[in-house]
Amino acid sequence: MSTPRVGVLALQGDTREHLAALREAGADATTVRRVTELEAVDALVIPGGESTTMSHLLREFELLEPLRARLAEGMPAYGSCAGMILLATEILDAGVEGRAAVPLNAIDMTVRRNAFGRQVDSFEGDFPFEGLDGHVHAVFIRAPWVERVGPDVQVLGQAGGHIVAVRQGRMLATAFHPEMTGDRRIHKLFVDML
């Protein structure tokens, strides 16, 4: 089997950390900022960052509709934090009109932005992650949580009684930032899904 070519959406957010984690997990990782680059990858990681800013930049770079189309066609994707928000079918507290986070409709879930609180409420913690041995150490920064999942969505992890990791087919999303730790198991899980 050939090495999967995984793009990391590089409009805003922690791109460099995801590129390093994907390479360590066995992928050929590259940045995606243009439609031609999106067309050249087998899968995409949407990093953490700020979901309204990322939505604005997706429109500005004319990537929003091409990305929605690739996802609808079945391109695998992994979203962390802001990426989880964007992969949802519904976003609560999406932001002000004209500057709101836009759903990409890739995972049948409702996500609440900044659900755990403001920047000062950011935290780290350990919790079990379905399909991985041992606990995952998670970094939550102005993190979302999932309020509703559809029937085809598998809950992979919870923190504080809230859903923070999900999978639907070849779509994966976490409310936290595994790229900020040395643990590459979630990136490896995504690469293995390809």
Question: In whole angstroms, what separates CA 43 from the centre of its chain?
Answer: 12
| Res 123: pLDDT | 73
**95, 52 in Cβ contact below 8 A?**
yes
Task: Compute the half-sphere exposure of residue 110: CA atoms within 13 Å on the CB side of its CA.
Answer: 4
Residue 1: is its pLDDT beyond 60? no
| Res 98: pLDDT | 67
**76, 42 in Cβ contact below 8 A?**
yes
CA separation for the pair 126, 52 (Å, rounded): 28
Q: With b meaning 16 or more CB within 10 Å and e meaning fewer, what string describes 121-147?
A: eeeeeeeebeebeeebebbbbbbbbbe
SS3 30: strand
Could you tell me the pLDDT band of residue 58, with boundaries at 50, 70 and 90?
A: very high
Residue 170: is its pLDDT beyond 70? yes
Kindly state the percentage of the chain with pLDDT values over 90. Answer: 82
User: Could you list the residue range(s) of the whole structural domain that residue 36 is in?
Assistant: 5-193
Number of domains in the chain: 1
pTM: predicted TM-score of the whole model, two decimal places: 0.94
Q: Which residues are annotated as a binding site for L-glutamine?
A: 49-51, 113, 141-142
Residues with active-site annotation: 81, 177, 179
Q: What's the CATH code of the domain at 55? A: 3.40.50.880
